[in-house]
Amino acid sequence: QSALTQPASVSGSPGQSITISCTGTSSDVGAYNYVSWYQQHPGKAPKLMIFDVSNRPSGVSNRFSGSKSGNTASLTISGVQAEDEADYYCSSYTSSVTWVFGGGTKLTVL
């Protein structure tokens, strides 16, 4: 199972919106609405930010939103803040009853 494809890095100034893409195949992202997104600060465990493509867990800011079209899912952060600077990973359930992660995207807040 190959990793999902994410850009290595994205950047934005405070207040701007940024979008991170996550491209898979018709056996994972395209087949199920079980795409989730995780935020990871250095030296910390990942944190669930979005599940089932576009749902936010309780306590996650509504500045975070998710969507999907075909084999590509996206995470959008509206009004980026300094505290959002972190690594972001997408994940998808697959037809093999396994899970696959993206390679990760480093968000830099300028």
Partner 1 sequence: QVQLVQSGADVKKPGASVKVSCKASGYTFSSYYMHWVRQAPGQGLEWMGRINPRGDGTNYAQKFQGRITVTRDTPTSTVYMELHSLRTEDTAVYYCARDGNNWNFDSWGQGTLVTVSS
**Positions in the binding site for partner 1 (CB under 8 A):** 1, 3, 32, 34, 36, 38, 40, 45-48, 51-52, 57, 89, 91, 93, 96-104
Q: How far is the CB of 109 from partner 1 (least distance, A)?
A: 21
Q: How many angstroms separate the Cα of 6 from the Cα of each of 15, 40, 43, 62, 88?
A: 23, 15, 21, 22, 9
Q: What are the start-end ranges of the E strands in 13-104? A: 18-23, 35-40, 47-50, 64-69, 72-77, 86-93, 99-101
CB closer to partner 1, 12 vs 66: 66
Q: How far is the CB of 89 from partner 1 (least distance, A)?
A: 5
Nearer to partner 1, 18 or 49 (CB): 49
| Torsion angle (degrees, nearest 10) of CA 104, 46, 48, 36 | 30
State the nearest-atom distance from the C-beta of 80 to partner 1, in Å: 22
Q: Measured from the CB atom, is 34 or 63 closer to partner 1?
A: 34
